[in-house]
Structures are given as C-alpha cells and as structure tokens.
Amino acid sequence: MGILDRIRSRARPAANPADIRAYFNRAAGDEEHYPSTIDPRIWHVKLVLEHLGDVPEGKVADVGCGKGRFARIVKERFPRARVVAMDLAEAMLRGAPADLERVAGSMTAIPLATESMDAAYATESLEHAVDIPRAVEELARIVKPGGRILIIDKDAEAWGRLETPQWERWFGRRELERLLARHCRRVWSQPISYWEDVPPDGLFLAWFAEK
Ligand SMILES: C[S@@+](CC[C@H](N)C(=O)[O-])C[C@H]1O[C@@H](n2cnc3c(N)ncnc32)[C@H](O)[C@@H]1O
C-alpha cells in the first residue's frame, strides 16, 4: 500500500458489506446511472469480447455484473457458452437476462468452483470490493490455467473527478498489475476510452491477464 492509499484508508471509515449491498439494491432502480444495456460498439465491450478468447462453448463469469449489460452481449455473441452473471445485489441480478446463470455473492468469496471458468471479467465492480487483493485472488481462483481475466476500472490518478461512495477505490496501473501477477503468468494494461478512435482521457484503465 502506497502513502496515498494509507492516507485515504485512514480518512475513510471501513465499509459495512450490508450497507454496500443495500446501496446497490437501491441503485438498481436508477436505470440512468446503472443501465441494463450498453452499446456493443463501445470499446469496453469490444475489449471484453476480444480478450475472452475462444469461448464459444466455454464458461465465462461476469463478476460484479450489475444488470448484466456486458454479459447479455457475451451471451448473444456466444449463445452456447455458459455465462455466469454474479453480483452482490439481488435487485441488480433481477435486471439481468434470464438466459444467464445469475448468482448472488461477493467477489471477495465468489460462489464458483476453483478453475471452473475459461474466462472472467469485472467492469467497474472491483472499485467497490473493499478487500481488493482478495477480490483479485478470487477472480484468478475461478479461472482455469491458461484462462483469461479482464478488469476495467478507474485510474487512481483521476481520483476526485467523479462523486464516489465512501468505500469506492480507484487503482494505480502498476498496483493492479502487481496484484494480478501474483496469480497470473502474463499481465498487461492500457488506458482506454469509450470509443476506440478517441484518445483516452485518463479515467479508465483495462488490465489484462492470462493465468
Ligand atoms: C458500477 S456497477 C457496474 C456493474 C456492471 N459491471 C456494469 O459495468 O454494468 C458496480 C456493481 O458491482 C456490484 N458490487 C459491489 N460490490 C460487490 C462485491 N463485493 N461483489 C460483487 N459485486 C459487487 C454492485 O452491486 C454493482 O452491481
């Protein structure tokens, strides 16, 4: 943990998991800020699909899936794949399509078997996980050796640009690379924007890993 993280964790009281779940169960009703669909041309979606690799009949987990806006596209693209949509908030999961395998749980104790997934991804959910090393360990645990992991989240360098609940954290590029490298043999990252042809403005990073 760097000096900035230590200052931030002292300044912010520990989060109660029940409060975080209640917050997102309420937030599920806010379709504007927590939408159930996403334009498939958005770069974040393309990165998920590209990085998943060869999963036409494989198993993919969307960890912290919200209403499954990414998972529904993965399922459309790979109709024979088993797509698991996992989230802390049941009300979010109720908004996800019924042809996904919807699972309630925390990404710090993912209720899926070890090495049961060909790929796993987490878009803007790790920032809420509180115990970040544990959540990254869990993402890696459920993926088979050789399987892919993708995390899309916000850059700590941009902290302050948006309003955030008190438990939210953003990440240094090297910080998450190091956490992933504890469990994965290949790790890399890059700044991204919503549109591939628009230069990244520093808010989003994508971390890629191969276990
Ligand atoms: C900003 S939303 C992103 C949802 C989705 N990934 C997307 O991009 O649409 C954050 C999601 O993370 C979920 N979440 C928060 N803490 C979590 C945890 N510990 N385990 C699993 N999901 C969690 C919330 O319930 C919420 O649905």
Domain count across the chain? 1
In a domain, 49, yes or no: yes
In a domain, 178, yes or no: yes
CB atoms within 10 A of CB 50: 12
Q: How far is the CA of 24 from the centre of ligand 1 (A)?
A: 8
- The residue nearest atom 13 of ligand 1, judged by CA position, is 64
Task: Report, as ranges of residue numbers, the positions in the chain whose pLDDT lies below 70.
Answer: 1-14
Check residue 107 and give its pLDDT. Answer: 98
Residue 118, classed as helix, strand or coil, is: strand
In a domain, 146, yes or no: yes
Q: How far is the CA of 106 from the centre of ligand 1 (A)?
A: 9
In a domain, 33, yes or no: no
| Residue 148 one-letter amino acid | R
Q: How far is the CA of 50 from the centre of ligand 1 (A)?
A: 22
Structure tokens at 191: 């700044």
Domain with 97, as residue range(s), is 3-28+39-210
Check residue 85 and give its pLDDT. Answer: 98
Nearest Cα to 103, choosing from 141, 129, 38, 94?
94
Which residues, 6 or more positions from 109, have their beta carbon under 8 angstroms from its beta carbon? 134, 138
Query: For the domain that residue 51 is a member of, what is the CATH number?
Result: 3.40.50.150
Instruction: Please say whether the beta carbons of 20 and 172 come within 8 A.
Output: no
Instruction: Out of 102, 128, 162, 169, give the residue to mutate to test ligand 1, the one with the largest number of ligand atoms within 8 Å of its CB.
Output: 128
Check residue 138 and give its pLDDT. Answer: 98
Nearest Cα to 66, choosing from 138, 125, 117, 109?
125
Check residue 7 and give its pLDDT. Answer: 40
In a domain, 34, yes or no: no
